Each structure stands twice: as C-alpha cells, then as structure tokens.
Chain A
Amino acid sequence: MSIDTTGNDAARKEAKVRVEHLYKVFGAQPDDTLRRLQAGETKDRIYADTGSVAAVADVSFDVHQGEIFVVMGLSGSGKSTLIRCINRLIEPTRGRILIDDEDIVGLDAEALRRLRRDKLSMVFQHFALFPHKSVGENVEYGLKIRGMPARERRDKALKALEQVGLAAHADVPPDNLSGGMQQRVGLARGLAVDPELMLMDEPFSALDPLIRRDMQDELLVLQQRLRMTIIFITHDLHEALRLGDRIAIMKDGRFVQLGTPEAIVARPADDYVAAFTRDVDRARVFRARALRRDAEALGPEASVEKARERLAQLERTALYVIDAHDRPQGVVRRASLESAAAPTLEALLERDFPTAHEDQELVELYDVCATGLPVALVDGEGRLTGVVEPLEVFRLLGGNGGESDGGEAMGDTASRPSEHAGSLEMRRRNHG
C-alpha cells in the first residue's frame, strides 16, 4: 500500500493538502482497532467487539490549490472528524497530513498554533460566533490573535464584512442577526485572515433551503474572485454537486468514491452512491463540455463539393463554417447541400444558428437544442471550440452514461488518489 508518486510531479506540486492513509480511532486500544481495520473487519463489528469507534479509516486524497474539495457523507460517516484532523482539533491516530508538503501531524503545540493562525481558518455548522463580541470584533478575532494593531484589523474586518454585504452591521452583537447573516459573519471571520486553506464544516446545513441556496451562490461568486483552497463538508449531495470541483463520498469512515460531480453522477461507484445520485437533476450537473465533439468546421473558402464530401465522411447532419479567426459564421445542413445546386457555400449558409458556452449547464441548452442543429460551443472570445449534438443531450439526461472523465472508485483495500489526480478535469467557473 504505497503511494505512487513517480511520474506525478505536476499533480504533486499542485497539491495544497495531501492526506495519506489517515485513521482516527476513538477508544481505549487504537492499535488493536487499526489491526482489525486493516484485516478488513467492518466498523460495526469492531465497535461490537471492542467498543472502539473507527471514525476515519484509511482515507487518502489530495486537495489542489484553488479548488473546492467537498466531502459528502451522512451523519456518522466520519466527515466532521476528518476535517477536524486537518487542523488537528482532533488528533489523528495514524497517517500523514501534508499542508504545503509539511507533515502537520508531527508539529509541536507551538508550531501547530502558528500553522492554524497563519494558514488556516474554519467556518462552523452552528456559526460559533462569540456572543460577547460585536460582529466586527468577531471578524477581527483571527487578526487580533496575530497581534495586528486595532485600527488595521478593524479596517480588514470591515473589508471582509463588505464582501459578504454586512459592513453596516459591524457594531451589533451577532445574536441580533438572522441565521443566514450570522453565517455570513462566520464566513467573513474566515476570510479576514486571508487563509491559504479554509475548512468549512457543514456551514450551510443549519440554514433554511432558500437562504442555503443564496449562500452557495455567494460562496461561488467569492470563489471566482478569490480562488481559495477550500475543504467543504456537507451531508447534502445537491450542495456537493453545486459547489464541488471534486467530491468525495464518505461512508463508515472510508471514501467510497472520489471524482468530479459529472463522474459521480454518470458512474456511481456502487449502489450506495447510486442511491444518492438517482434523483439528481443531471441537466444541472453536466455542463455542455461533457458532450463536446470536435467541430470539424469548414474554412470560409471551402467549396460546396468539399463540404458535401466532409459531411458524408463524418456522417453528420450539419457543419459549421468559420472565419479566419475561428469564429462561426453559419451552418450548412446536409439536406440543403444535397438538394440545392448552389455555386457557393455562402448561399446555403444559415446564419441563425444555436450557440452555447462550454460551461453552461445542460438545462440551459434545451432551447437551442430544439432547432435540431448541432449546438456551436464558443469560448469567451467567440471562437468555435466544438459542437454538441442535441440527441446526445437527451441521451445523457436519459441516463446512458456521459463522456466526462475523472471518476475513481475507492477500493476497500487500497486507494491511490495520486494516480488520477493529474488527469482530473477541473470544472472552470470563470468564463474566459
């Protein structure tokens, strides 16, 4: 059970956090429990025999710089223990946790405190705001701990509060705010210290559904600007799919599956994951890029004969014509090419064609699919990057598998996160 690090330098450099074979056992004789775990005994069996709880069992993963890594699991799956191991609010029983290639499990109390103070911050499920301090003082807390002068930290706190739209409430006690606002303060407190890694332990679970959705949107907007590295815990798969660049599904202390949202929905690793993904709205998980095909476009000067030839060869119904800057000019249908005897392509060109962006959700493609023409995918500068066939959209929504890459089932005995780490396709959010 060794980690494959060879040939993975690129992925390695990118890994902000690397967790290797992490175990956490609550109980009197952790060594005995570890032996039983490694021998493959189940968590329930171990608990019945020894009274020890294996909260986290052999978990390995990388978190890349600038991504939101979501750990999704039901209560009791060990996800809260896992996140607390990463800043050692809970001491891991065994395993390594590397933050910027430094093993934090071995740090002494002082070094650990410095790590928490300078690199990490945390947002809590029940907000954990200090009731005896004002909203502003709460946000200032991490900076005060660093010894920043009062005026400077006040300014920074106000800036952080502005980011969550609460600058006007800096001087009221947090108890006066609604739940959603309180968690915004919690978020601002986490942001104020400019953390390199933000740990979010079910931050939106205590909020009602509408507010929760707002907060998710807000986090995505912030993330677009700040590109933070975030480990996000949730019990809600929909939340995981909305927020996660990659998602790990956790059950009984182990990762059952780790992959992109698309991969998890398209190819659930087992029945457990499948049970979650069954009622997921695929049209909101998959993006146009998941169905992208090479455009095989024609140049502006191509002849009618050439167009006919290419269409027959590719067995497509229509082809796009692009200009010198790769911008789509129009589309020609196979039908019109075969019937008409027009001398130039120009005359057959339909200039009213469906377009979409690679990052658009499939749900947004329904309209343009209705034309029956392949949808032109364009990038931020209007260049053609591929096409999506309408039929494939509906085939994917029907559940017949997607083309997206990046899924990985976690075996019971060995998990090798680094193998696929390099090939995982990250979902980009900032258009252009």
Chain B
Amino acid sequence: MADRISDYYTLPLDDWIEFFVKDWLVPNFRPVFQAVQWPIDQVLGGLEAFLLWLPYPVFVVVVPLIAWRVAGGGVALFTLLSLLFIDLLGIWRETMVTLAMILTAVAFCVLVGVPLGILAARSDRFASIIRPVLDIMQTIPPFVYLVPIVMLFGVGIVPGVIATIIFALPPVIRLTNLGIRQVQAELVEAGLAFGSTRRQLLFEIQIPLALRTIMAGLNQTLMLSLSMVVIAALIGAGGLGLTVFTGLGRLDIGRATLGGIGIVLLAIMLDRITQALGEGRQARRPGVKNTLIRLFKGLFQGSRAYDERR
C-alpha cells in the first residue's frame, strides 16, 4: 500500500479542541456564558408562564382574531381549527412550551440578527467577515455544537433555546443585509441629497423599504427554529420535541406522531401569519382602530335596538 501521511502522523485536532473547550473555555469563561443565559432564561420563563396562564378559551379566540386581522379569513379559520385539534389531541401544554421556546429564540435572533445585518449592509468588510461564519452556522450539523453547549450552559430548556438561536440566526442576518442593500440607489441618494444623517437614512428609508425582505428572513428563522425543536429536546428542552423524542426512545409511534402533528400545525400557523405580516405593509387593510370602533358601534347599536324593542 502506498504510504500516506496519516501512517506516520495524524493531526491531533480533536485533542486540541477538547483542550480548548474543556480546559480553557469552560473554566475561564463559564461565568460569561452563565450571564448570557440569564436574559434568555427571564424571557423564556415569563413567556412560558404567560402562555400557560392564559386561559385556553382566550387563546383560541384571540390568536385566530390576530390571524384574521393580519392574514385574512382563511388563515384565521385554519388557525382556529388547528388550535382546537391540538387541544383535542391532548398536547396543549407541550405546544405552549414549544411556542414559548420558539418565540424566545426568534426574539433573540431578531435582537442580534437585525443589527448585525444592518452592520453588514453598511460595511463590505464586515459583510465579508460575517459571511463565512454564517455559512458555517448553516452547514454545521447541530449535533456538533450540542456537546460544547452542554459543557458551557448545562442541560435544560435554556441551552436548548441557545442551540436553536445559533441554528436559526443566519437567515435574519442575511436577509436584513440583502434587504438594505437592495434599496434603490437613487432613493438612498435622495435621502442623502436632502441631508439625512445615517440614522435618519436608516430609519426613514432603508429599514422601511427593506422590511419585506427582513420579514422574509424572520419567517425563515422561525421555520428553522421549529425544526430544531426535537434536537433541542436531546439536551433537555421540553415541549413537543420531548414528546417526539420520548416516543422515539420507546418506539411509541403514536406519541411521536402526536408531537409531529403539533409541530407541523404550529409551523403552518406561524408561517402564514408572519408571511402575511411581511406583505401586509403594501395591502392596506382597515386599521385595527377602525375595526374596533365599528365593532363597538355595532354592539352599541345592537343593544339599543334590543332595548327599543323591549
């Protein structure tokens, strides 16, 4: 056989990485990582408590109403039926836990991703630095970084959310960058020609015009974070992911499918609503205020008519 380099020498990269993470990163920076965990923990805890506290009938009325306002009658009906079905399956609690996880992850993705995207749009150098990082984040299998995440953050639902954030962050950065760069050059020139500051340019012109694209990125981020639900369950996150995971462990096809159905329904609902949010800017519907006024006027007149009839 032909000699290969590895017959004489193999690079001990695995040892180095292990050393780097175990003997340097963990002992020296654990407090930093713990501190990062804190805000996520707070938001997640609050959101989860709120969603679980929210009485079921309120949720089933309010969410389809929102869907109707944003995305129209069809999506609203679908949302209503999905929510009823989820409850019928007996996985309401798990769905709420998962929803809280997803919303937390997306919120932090936006919080971190939009500013990074803006930065990338403004600076070609920053864009060229961040691009390979995003490529790695999107291609590296999540299982690879689950181990260091457990080492640094421990197990539980918050490390699950952190893994989700890493996985789901790239689209919102990429599409924010893209959206701002795609704003017509002449419009940016117009803004500059009238003496806008960079901030005014950003908030008056660039972000409003990039909003559709940014919302598309948000939608992608949302979908990616949903696909992380099961993987996050591996390191102790609960919710629908856990249902699937335990079903898998016990070869309980029924339970695994229930979890799967919940995830899919949640995904479709969130997707339709956020997509409509992105497009809704253009198609102006009657405002919320007007709708409410009309509703109350109607109720008032109805009750008066009722009184008069008596």
B232 CB to closest chain A CB, in angstroms? 37
List 22 contacting pairs A-B, 8 Å CB cutoff, sorted by A.
A87-B193, A89-B189, A113-B195, A115-B195, A116-B193, A116-B194, A116-B195, A117-B194, A117-B195, A122-B189, A126-B186, A128-B190, A129-B190, A130-B187, A141-B191, A141-B194, A142-B194, A144-B204, A145-B194, A145-B196, A145-B197, A199-B193
Complex Cα distance A248/B156, Å?
74
Across the interface, do A89 and B195 meet the contact criterion of CB distance under 8 Å?
no
Across the interface, do A124 and B190 meet the contact criterion of CB distance under 8 Å?
yes
Q: Which residues of the partner chain A approach B128 to less than 8 Å between Cβ atoms?
A: none
A22 CB to closest chain B CB, in angstroms? 18
Q: Mark B196-216, 1 if CB is under 8 A from A, else 0.
A: 110010001100110000000
Please give me the residue from chain A that is nearest to B201 by CB atom: A145
Q: Which residues of the partner chain B approach A355 to less than 8 Å between Cβ atoms?
A: none
Q: Which residues of the partner chain B approach A130 to less than 8 Å between Cβ atoms?
A: 187, 190, 204-205, 209
B184 at the interface (CB under 8 A from A): yes
Complex Cα distance A131/B186, Å?
12
Q: Mark A56-97, 1 if CB is under 8 A from B, else 0.
A: 000000000000000000000000000010010100000000
New A-B contacts (18) at CB < 8 Å, excluding given A89-B189, A126-B186: A113-B196, A116-B193, A117-B194, A117-B195, A121-B194, A122-B189, A122-B190, A122-B193, A124-B186, A125-B186, A128-B187, A129-B190, A130-B204, A141-B190, A144-B204, A145-B195, A146-B195, A193-B194
Across the interface, do B197 and A113 meet the contact criterion of CB distance under 8 Å?
yes
Across the interface, do A121 and B193 meet the contact criterion of CB distance under 8 Å?
yes
B87 CB to closest chain A CB, in angstroms? 40
Please give me the residue from chain A that is nearest to B281 by CB atom: A132
Q: Mark A97-134, 1 if CB is under 8 A from B, else 0.
A: 00000000000000001111110111011101111100
Complex Cα distance A128/B209, Å?
13
Residue count of chain B within 8 Å CB distance of chain A: 18
Complex Cα distance A145/B183, Å?
19
B277 CB to closest chain A CB, in angstroms? 15
Within 8 Å by CB of A89, from B192, B197, B200, B204, lies B192
A329 CB to closest chain B CB, in angstroms? 56
Within 8 Å by CB of A132, from B197, B200, B209, lies B209
Residue count of chain A within 8 Å CB distance of chain B: 28
Complex Cα distance A122/B191, Å?
10
Within 8 A of A (CB), among B44-63: none
**Given A124-B186, A145-B200, does the pair A132, B208 have CB atoms closer than 8 Å?**
yes
Across the interface, do A142 and B187 meet the contact criterion of CB distance under 8 Å?
no
**Given A141-B204, A145-B200, does the pair A128, B195 have CB atoms closer than 8 Å?**
no
Q: Which residues of the partner chain A approach B200 to less than 8 Å between Cβ atoms?
A: 145
Complex Cα distance A128/B196, Å?
15
Within 8 A of B (CB), among A166-208: 189, 193, 199
B49 CB to closest chain A CB, in angstroms? 38
Q: Mark A231-271, 1 if CB is under 8 A from B, else 0.
A: 00000000000000000000000000000000000000000
Q: Which residues of the partner chain B approach A144 to less than 8 Å between Cβ atoms?
A: 204
Q: Which residues of the partner chain A approach B186 to less than 8 Å between Cβ atoms?
A: 124-126, 128
Complex Cα distance A130/B208, Å?
10
Please give me the residue from chain A that is nearest to B205 by CB atom: A130
**Given A128-B190, A130-B187, does the pair A142, B209 have CB atoms closer than 8 Å?**
no
Complex Cα distance A55/B281, Å?
40
Complex Cα distance A117/B201, Å?
13
Complex Cα distance A129/B191, Å?
10
Q: Which residues of the partner chain B approach A120 to less than 8 Å between Cβ atoms?
A: 193, 195
Across the interface, do B194 and A124 meet the contact criterion of CB distance under 8 Å?
no
Across the interface, do B281 and A114 meet the contact criterion of CB distance under 8 Å?
no
Nearest first, the 10 A-B pairs at minimum CB distance are A117-B195, A116-B195, A122-B193, A128-B190, A142-B194, A128-B186, A132-B208, A113-B195, A145-B196, A128-B187
B95 CB to closest chain A CB, in angstroms? 36
Q: Which residues of the partner chain A approach B193 to less than 8 Å between Cβ atoms?
A: 87, 89, 116, 120-122, 199
Complex Cα distance A122/B281, Å?
28
Q: Which residues of the partner chain A approach B191 to less than 8 Å between Cβ atoms?
A: 141
Within 8 Å by CB of B195, from A118, A129, A132, A189, lies A118
Complex Cα distance A115/B192, Å?
11
Complex Cα distance A67/B116, Å?
47
